[in-house]
Amino acid sequence: MTERPHVVIVGGGFGGLEAAKRLSRLPLRVTLVDRANHHVFQPLLYQVATAALSPGDISKPIRSVLRRRRNVSVLLGEVARVDLPARTVHLVDGAAFAWDYLVLAPGSRHSYFAHPEWEVRAPGLKTLEDALEIRRRVLLAFERAERAETSDERRRHLTLVVVGGGPTGVELVGALAEIKRYVLRRDFRRIDPREATVMLLEGGPRILPTYPVVLSERAEEALRRLGVEVRVETLVGAIEPGAVVAGALRIPADTVIWAAGNVTSPLLRSLHVALDRQGRVEVEPDCSVPGHRDVFVVGDGAAFRHDRRYPSLPGIAPVAMQQGRYVARAIGDDLRARPRRPFRYADKGQLAVIGRGQAVADLGRIRMSGFVAWFIWIFLHIYYLIGFANRVLVLFQWAWSYVTFERGARLITSAWRPQASAEPSRNPAP
């Protein structure tokens, strides 16, 4: 008996995890490598960043998700490069794995458009660490405002700027507007958090650019009612310490969050194949790398030419999940010596939440906004949350904060440091 073929999956996000689940049913050995020990339910990451949910509510250890799939091994490790000719994956710690099939699902990071130095001043929102850092900065901003000595300083602390009007940016400003209006309202003595400015800067002509125009308009209206300053056609030219510069506009602000533009993992460069401007591999109709039928790219890392509606599929969870499942099917076809059928994306529409009882939904023929869209959003997100306990807990927490305007995770925590060698100040500074 020869050994079962070995499939290496890089990345435990939506695409990689779905691939692993489906591949576990086939006569294969599967190894999933991720540099985090947990899968994150990214659509709710903004809720961690805005102190509504705890990290544990929206994430689960990858190895416990795959516990019962006995032919799947999970490894905590970071992949440094892929050696296509040698069919080997190399980890940064020197370990290497040979593959019979390779599934690359490395996800993406934010793109700062050739300004990597902006990241320190304006973190993006991709990982739990990002979310906790944003939460820390937002909560610290109000604490600092309470202790500010001049009104300029206070103003700067109380201005929260989100760059990028896609779904993540919209969700973030919606939640920030609620925090300043309801959650923190009575907590301070010297400042009134309601006077804080929450600003959304979008470079293009409208927010939610992938949605129908009417829903963009409704979302903008809803945000304005929540007290968010929405500025479209406002391209950020510089992020300086304490200020965002956009054209002639200079906005004094200490807290800036980046939700504009993605770039894929630098790992894909090690393939030495053609990449598009966002660093994505232009994959074949079966999600494989051109010239390498044994190597697949799924999710944010793949540029998939689909049809007229999607000249390139968007970097969202449903695409990644469907591609992950598809790749497992394609490998199954190989095992049975059947031809692979090309990948087709089943578009179920898009949903973005704005705030309490406010969302927009574009479900193909049906477009809606307001409470019903919000209710669908809640239902779907609870439904897809991994793990039963999480679902009940998160639902309870939402119901609780809906009624009380409380947020359960308003914690400013920073990195652990030994006390013995601590600097005079242990107050975290961004």
Q: Cβ 337 to a copy of itself, closest distance in Å?
A: 29
Candidates 8, 11, 22, 57; binder of a copy of itself (CB under 8 A) is 57
Q: Cβ 265 to a copy of itself, closest distance in Å?
A: 10
**81 sits near a copy of itself (criterion: CB under 8 A):** no
* Alpha helix positions (H), 85-200: 128-146, 151-157, 167-178
Span 389-418, contacts to a copy of itself by CB under 8 A: 389-390, 392-393, 396-397, 400, 404, 406, 408-418
Active site residue 171: yes
* Alpha helix positions (H), 314-426: 317-335, 371-384, 388-404
Q: Select from 54-62, 239-247, 271-279, 293-301 the region that touches a copy of itself (CB under 8 A).
A: 54-62
**163 sits near a copy of itself (criterion: CB under 8 A):** no
CA-wise closest residue to 386 among 64, 19, 69, 16: 64
Q: At 285, phi and psi to the nearest 5? A: -60, -15
What token pair was written down for 34? 């991720």
Q: At 60, phi and psi to the nearest 5? A: -150, 145
**178/362 with CB nearer a copy of itself:** 178
Candidates 25, 98, 113, 147; binder of a copy of itself (CB under 8 A) is 147
Angle at which helix 167-178 crosses helix 213-225, to 10 degrees, equals: 20
Candidates 4, 5, 37, 242; binder of a copy of itself (CB under 8 A) is 37
Span 233-272, contacts to a copy of itself by CB under 8 A: none
Name the active-site residue from 18, 133, 171, 284.
171
User: How far is C-alpha 252 from the geometric centre of its chain's CA atoms?
Assistant: 27
CA-wise closest residue to 56 among 34, 35, 77, 40: 40
**117 sits near a copy of itself (criterion: CB under 8 A):** yes
Candidates 188, 371, 379, 402; binder of a copy of itself (CB under 8 A) is 188
**337/415 with CB nearer a copy of itself:** 415
Q: Which pairs count as long-range contacts for 270-276, CB under 8 Å and 24+ apart, including other chains?
A: 270/80, 270/81, 270/82, 270/83, 271/82, 271/84, 271/295, 272/84, 273/84, 276/303, 276/312
**150 sits near a copy of itself (criterion: CB under 8 A):** no
Q: Cβ 122 to a copy of itself, closest distance in Å?
A: 10
**130 vs 108: CA distance, rounded Å:** 13
Candidates 63, 154, 157, 280; binder of a copy of itself (CB under 8 A) is 63
Catalytic residues: 171
